[in-house]
Amino acid sequence: MENLVSLTIDGKQVTVPTGTLIVNAAKKIGIDIPVFCYHPKMEPVGMCRQCLVEVGRPVINRATGQPLLEADGMPKIQFGAKLETACTTPVSEGMVVIGTSEKAARGRKDILEFLLTSHPLDCPICDKGGECPLQNLTLLYGPGESRFIYDEKMRLAKHYPLGELIYLDRERCIQCGRCVRFQTDIADDPVIGFFNRGRSMEIISTSDPGFDSYYSGNTTDICPVGALTTADFRFQARPWELCSTASICPHCPVGCNLTINLRREASANGDLVIKRILPRQNELVNEIWICDKGRFGYHYTESAQRLTQPLVRRDGELVAIGWDEVLSYVAENFTHAGKNLLALASGRLSNEDLFSLNELSTGLGGHSALYTHMAGGDLVAQLGVGNGTNLSNLGEDSVILVVASDLEEEAPIWWLRVKQAAERGATLIVANPRPSKLERFASQVLRYSYGSEATTILAVINAMSAKQNFPKAPKFQQGGEVVKTAAEIITKAANLIVFYGSEGMGLEASQALAQSCANLLVVTNHAHRKNNGLIAVWPRANDQGAWELGYRPLLNLKDAFQQFEAIYVAGADPVGDNPSLAEAVRDAGFVVVQDLFLTETAKLADVVLPTQPFTEREGTFTSGERRVQRFYPTVVHAELRPDYAIIANISKLAGLNLEDSALRIFNRLAAKVPAFNGLSYRQLAEVSEQWPIIGRSDLYYGGTSYANAQGLGVHLELPAQIPSLTWPNVPELNLPEGAILAVPITILYDRGQTIYHSQLLHRRIPPAHIAVHPDVAQRLSITDGTMVNFVLEGTPFEVILHISEQVPPGVAILPRSLGMPINSPVPIELKVVKEEPV
Ligand code: SF4
Ligand code: SF4
Ligand code: FES
C-alpha cells in the first residue's frame, strides 16, 4: 500500500501518495498552477518561479508530537513568510496551499513582468501564438504594462537553425531549460545546452550535424514559448486555424499514437492539407513522445512522385489505364491463375488490407505470403507480452533482455522506454555482437559473434538448467562467466520481457532466435503474465498483424516468381531491395504491384495499382506489443483507393464477395481470427483518463502533445495454452577461411520507400556504405573513406568504406535498405576502387 497524505489546495481536499509535488496534487483535482520550467515527465528544477503559491503547514506541539488546534478544533496552520514553488515542494499531511491569494497573484505577476523584460513582441507572427503558455499566462496573470523600457530588450538571433529540422528564435527563449533537460535526461542525447550567462544566455547545439538526435522534435512540443519550432511548420499556419485527426505512426512496430493537424488551403482548392504531426498521449505505448521519423517522415505522402493512376504494360511500356478496365484485367488473370496465384504483402499494409488480400488469394485457391527478412511472429502470437503490460511499470523486480537489436535505430520509442525502465531500477541485459547506445544503461552485456544469436540464448537456458532443473537445450552450449551472470539475473527476476531483433540475421536465424527466446520465457515461467513476454523488433509497423492473420514468409522469392502464374505484390519492393530478383520478376507470368510509388518492382510489373497512404484512409495496425490501434482518414485523395477497397473491387469481379469498408472488414476479421475475437472499432476507440493529464487548455503543463480522445487500442489476448517446448534448428554459419563476413544491420533513416520520399529527412540518410573493423582495413591496406567494391547476390556494388572499432573483427556491417541487397550474413571479397579516400 502506498503511503497517502491529505491536504487542502484552494479550499479543496485531496489525498495523494507521499512525495507528490503540490503542482501535481493540484492537477489531480482540476486546479492548474501555472508553470514554465516544470514538466510532469521530468525532474523539477525550480528555475522560473512561475508556480509560486502560499504554503501553510500544521504547527506541531514539540512535546506531544501532535498538531496544535485552534479554538474551533481545527489544526493551527503556520504560513511561510515567503511564497514557495509548487513544482519542487512535496505535499505533507495537513498542508494548506493557496494559489488564489493576492500574494500568490503578485508573485506570478512579477515573474511574468520579469520574463517579458526581454521577450520580443512577436505574438502576431509567432508560430506558438494561440497555444503559447507565455501568452496565455500573461493574459491570465500578467501585468497590463511593463515598468521596463522596451528599447532595453536584448536583441538576439532569430530563425537560427539548431539543425535542419529545428529552428531557434533566440530572443524568444525564456531559459526554462526544458529542451536541454529533455535531451540530457530523457533522450540521453546532450547535444544542446546553455551558453553564456544572465540575459545573454542562449541555447546552442554542440553536435555535427546540428541537433543530432532522433527525438529533437519533442523539444518543440514542450518549449513553453515560440523559441523552438520545426522546419516544416514554422510560419505555416496559426494553431487556431488547424483541425486534427488521430493516427498511428506507420514507420516501426512501436505504434506511436499521433495527431495530424490540418488546414484548408487555397493552394489545394480548399481541401485539407497536413500542416504537422504531433504526439497523441498513450501512456501504454509512446507516453507523450514520438521520434523524428514519426514526426517528419509523413512528407512522402505529399510527394509529387506518388502514383496517381493505374498503369498497364502495353508494347513493353507502362501506360495509364482506367480503373474499370484495369480491375477487370487483373481479376481475369487472377481467376485464371487460381491456385497459382500468390499474394505477397508486407507489414506496411493494415490488418484490413492483409485480411482481405488473404481472403482473395485463398478464395481463388492461391496462397499468401509475408514479405520480410525476419521471422518468429508465430511465437510472439503465443508468447507475446501479457495483457496489462506497460513498459512504464517495469522497475526493480524486472529484467529486460534485448537481443540482436540496436533498439534506438529500429524502434526509438521502445529504446526510450526501456532506458527509463533501467533508470527506475529494472535490470537490462543487452546481447549484441557490437555496442549500441542502449548498453549505457545495461547491467550486463552479452557480446556474442554473428551467427551465435540463438545459441547464446540457449547457453543462458543451459546455465540455469543445472540449478533449476530446467530442460536443457539438446546441443549443450557452454556459456562463459557473462552468460552465467545473465542466467543468475534472470533466475531471480519477477518479470522478464525479451525484445529480439534481426541484426545480422535472415529468416532462418531469426526464427531460431525467436524460438530460443520463447523457450527462455517458458522454462523460467515468464509466459502469459502481465509485464512478461516476447516482443519482436519488426522492420515494419504491422508485421505482427500479418503473422496474427496467418501470413508467413517465403524462403526463396526467386523460386516463387518462377513458380506462380500470377503474383500480387502489395506494399513491397523485392527488386528494389534485391536487384538480382529483376530477371525473375521480368520472366514471371503476371505481376501486379500495388504501391504508392513506381518502385523498382513496379517498373517491371504488368499492372501497377496506385494506393493510399495511412493519412488518406482508415484501418488498424497491430504493434509489436500486440496492441491493435486505429488510424483515421485525414486528407482525401478522390482518385485513389485504399488497398482493401482495390482488393474488394478485384474480388467482386473474380466472383468473390469481400467487404469494401474498413469497419465491415474488421468485423469479419474479428469473427474469423481467434486472437481478434470480440474486438470492434468501437472498443479500439475507447479511452480512459491517463496520468499526467496533458493536452487541455493549460498547455504550459504538458506541452502541445494531444490528449487521447480517439482510442488507446486493445491488447490481443494470448491463446489459453502455453506452447510446449520445441528446440530450434540453429542454422550453421560457414565462413570460408579468411573471408570477410558481411552482416546486415538496421538504421532508422534509410532509403525505404517512405523515408526516401520525405525530402526533409534527406540530409540524415547516409549514402550506401559499409563499415569494417580496423583488422580488416589493415589486412587489405584500406583507409577510412576509401571506395571499395564487392559482389552481393551476383550484383557488383561500389560504396564508401568506414573503419570502426565497434565492428567485430573479420566483419563488415551493411545497413539494410541503402540499396545493397543483404538480409542475412554472407561472405564477401572487398576490392579497392580508389586508393585515395573520397
Ligand atoms: S528554447 Fe524553449 S524549452 Fe529551451 S530553454 Fe528556451 S524557452 Fe525553454
Ligand atoms: S518510434 Fe516508431 S512508431 Fe514511434 S514515432 Fe518513431 S518510427 Fe513512429
Ligand atoms: S519554478 Fe516551478 S515551474 Fe518553474
Over residues 636-686, the pLDDT tens digits come to 888 899 999 999 999 999 999 999 999 999 999 999 999 999 999 999 999
Share of the chain above pLDDT 90, in %: 87
Q: Choose one of 21, 41, 47, 701 to mutate for the ligand 3 pocket test, by most ligand atoms within 8 angstroms of C-beta.
A: 47
CB burial class (10 A; 0-12, 13-18, 19+) of residue 97? buried
Q: Residues 179-202: pLDDT tens digits? A: 999 999 999 999 999 999 888 889
pLDDT of the residue at 479: 76
CA of 346 to the centre of ligand 2 (A): 18
Task: Calculate Rg over the CA atoms of the chain.
Answer: 29
The bound ligand whose nearest atom lies closest to the alpha carbon of 33 is 3
- For range 286-298, the mean pLDDT: 98
Tell me how far the alpha carbon of residue 482 lies from the centroid of ligand 2, in angstroms: 32
Residue keyed to cell 509523413: 298
Taking the C-alpha atoms of residue 812 and residue 299, their distance in angstroms, rounded to an integer, is 33
Nearest ligand, CA 169: 1
Q: Which of 162, 174, 211 has most ligand 1 atoms within 8 Å of CB, for mutation?
A: 174
Ligand with smallest separation from the Cα of 108? 3
Determine the distance separating the centroid of ligand 2 and the alpha carbon of 410, expressed in angstroms.
9
Kindly give the number of the ligand 3 atom that is closest to the alpha carbon of 176: 4
Residue 536 dihedral angles phi and psi, to the nearest 5° = -95, 135
Q: Is the CB of 345 under 6 A from ligand 2?
A: no
Ligand 2 atom closest to Cα of residue 294:
5
For residues 692 and 282, is the Cβ–Cβ distance under 8 A?
no
Q: Measured in angstroms, how far is the CA atom of residue 176 from the centroid of ligand 3?
A: 8
**Predicted confidence band at 835 (pLDDT cuts at 50, 70, 90)?**
low
Ligand 1: distance of its center to the CA of 222 in Å? 8
Which residue is closest in CA terms to ligand 1's atom 8?
176
The yes-or-no verdict on residue 834 having pLDDT over 70 is: no
Q: What is d(CA 82, CA 98) in angstroms, rounded to the nearest whole number?
A: 12
Confidence (pLDDT) at 3? 93
Cα–ligand 3 centroid distance for 49 (angstroms): 5
How does residue 837 score in pLDDT terms, banded at 50, 70 and 90? low
Mean per-residue pLDDT of the chain: 94
* pLDDT the model gives residue 836: 59
pLDDT-derived band at 382 (thresholds 50, 70, 90) equals: very high
- Does residue 491 carry a pLDDT above 90? yes
Specify the amino acid at residue 299: H
Task: Check residue 349 and report its DSSP letter.
Answer: S
* Residue located nearest, by CA, to atom 3 of ligand 3: 35
pLDDT digit string, tens, across residues 763-789: 999 999 999 999 999 988 999 999 999
Q: Which of 503, 433, 539, 437 is nearest to 814 (CA)?
A: 503
Give me the residues paired with residue 311 across strands.
320, 608
Instruction: Give the residues across from 424 on adjacent strands.
Output: none
d(CA 568, CA 174): 56
The residue whose CA has the least distance to atom 2 of ligand 2 is: 252
pLDDT, residue 838, reads 54
Summarize pLDDT for 138-180 with one digit per residue, the tens: 999 998 888 888 788 888 899 999 999 999 999 999 999 999 9
Tens digit of each residue's pLDDT (9 = 90 or more) over 319-360? 999 999 999 999 999 999 999 999 999 999 999 999 999 999
Q: How far is CA 178 from the centre of its chain?
A: 22
Which pTM was predicted?
0.96
The alpha carbon of 149 and the centre of ligand 3 are apart by a number of angstroms equal to: 26
Q: Which residue has the cell 491463375?
A: 337
- Of the pLDDT bands very low, low, confident and very high (cuts 50, 70, 90), residue 471 is confident
User: Do residues 350 and 377 make contact, with C-beta atoms less than 8 angstroms apart?
Assistant: no
CA 153 to CA 145: how far, in whole Å?
15
- Residue 724 cell numbers, joined: 510446449
State the CB neighbour count (10 A cutoff) for residue 112: 22
Residue 469 pLDDT: 73
Task: Give the burial class of 687: count Cβ atoms within 10 A of its Cβ; 0-12 exposed, 13-18 middle, 19 or more buried.
Answer: middle
Helix (H) or strand (E) holding 598: none
Going from the Cα of 218 to the center of ligand 1, the distance in angstroms, rounded, reads 12
Does 733 have pLDDT greater than 90?
Answer: no
The predicted structure's pLDDT at residue 204: 96
pLDDT score, position 813: 96
State the burial class of residue 125 (Cβ atoms within 10 Å of its Cβ: 0-12, 13-18, 19+). Answer: exposed
Distances in whole angstroms, Cα of residue 332 to Cα of each of 284, 335, 514, 587, 641: 46, 5, 40, 20, 20
pLDDT at residue 550 in the model: 98
Does ligand 2 come within 6 angstroms of the Cβ of 278?
Answer: no
pLDDT digits (tens, 9 = 90+) for 582-635: 999 999 999 999 999 999 999 999 999 999 999 999 999 999 999 999 999 999
Distance 44 CA to ligand 3 centre (A): 7
Q: Indicate whether 476 pLDDT > 70.
A: no
- Nearest-10 crossing angle of helices 507-523, 453-468: 20
pLDDT tens column, 58-82: 999 999 989 999 999 999 999 999 9
Whether ligand 2 lies within 6 angstroms of the CB of 290 is answered as yes
Q: Given a cut of 90, is residue 401 above it in pLDDT?
A: yes
The residues lining ligand 1, judged by C-beta closer than 6 Å to any ligand atom, are 173-179, 203, 223-225, 227-228
Strands of 443-525 (E only): list them: 444-446, 495-500
- In the 8-state DSSP scheme, what is residue 697? S
What is the tens place of the pLDDT at every residue in 450-470?
A: 999 999 999 999 998 877 777
Q: Which residues line ligand 3 (CB under 6 A)?
A: 35-38, 46-51, 85, 87
Amino acid code (one letter) for 540: R
Q: Which ligand gives the minimal distance to the CA of 295?
A: 2
* Residue 10 alpha carbon to ligand 3 centre in Å: 19
State how far the Cα of 536 lies from the Cα of 525, in Å rounded to an integer: 19
Residue 291 CB–ligand 2 contact under 6 Å:
yes
Q: Looking at the CA of 257, which ligand is closest?
A: 2
Residue with cell 505533507: 92
